[in-house]
Amino acid sequence: MFPLLSSSAQSLGGVFLFSRWTELLGQPLPEPVPPSHVPDVFWPTAQFWDPPAQGKNSDHWKASRILVSELLEIFDGRTPISLSLSHTTEAIAVVAVPRTAVAMRVGVDLESESRAISEEVLKRVATPKELKLGLTAHQLWTSKEASFKALLQNDEIPITKVLLKSFDQGLSKGAALGPDPSLVISYFIESFDGFTASMAVSRRP
């Protein structure tokens, strides 16, 4: 599933996983992974393992913890990593890559292609130049969101400050720019089985 994103993550020493919720719910709930076992991890925080808040979907909560635990088991527990997660009402995607001296961070976004994204919504988050890159609505939305998540301090800026600068249709990859011009952002897009997903990685050259 999603061979381009999987191979792109592998080329960075990382892992990309995708699953439908129903495929995970039959598995037992894993034990929480203490933050000390994944030093310097950007995410998840210790609160990630807390029981779901009232009103939250408990099935989605359980499935996301199962997939994240599966991913964390792939690493040795001593490697600092950056991890990002995204979900729809039907499925979940999670990606992690080792952090390096250039402070690499990863972001992922997943959308069902059955979910309509109107032109009005796109115009609120994208510039006229971005709308002319040749991306579909779902490609534009997921690549913008993934690139935003890949910023080192995305909680301090609006998503409109992340600009998609280019897109290569043949390679299904492009470049983005955030407020810090010294930070290089690359994003990859892939569609599979009714979903579109984007993965972005930021690092300093």
Residue by residue, pLDDT tens for the chain (205 residues) are: 789 999 999 988 889 999 998 898 888 888 776 655 555 555 556 677 777 777 777 888 888 888 888 888 887 666 778 888 999 989 999 998 888 755 678 999 999 999 999 999 999 999 999 999 999 999 999 999 999 999 866 567 888 889 999 999 999 999 999 888 888 899 999 999 999 999 999 988 7
Two tokens, residue 72: 């964390």
Query: In 3-state terms, what secondary structure has residue 190?
Result: strand
Q: Residue 162 maps to which CATH number?
A: 3.90.470.20
| Polymer length of the chain | 205
Question: How many CA atoms lie less than 13 Å away from 33 in the CB half-sphere?
Answer: 22
Domain count, the chain: 1
Domain containing residue 40: 3-203
DSSP assignment of 162-179 equals -EEEEEETTTTEEEEE-S
pTM above 0.85, yes or no: yes
| Helix or strand (DSSP H, E) at 141 | helix 137-149
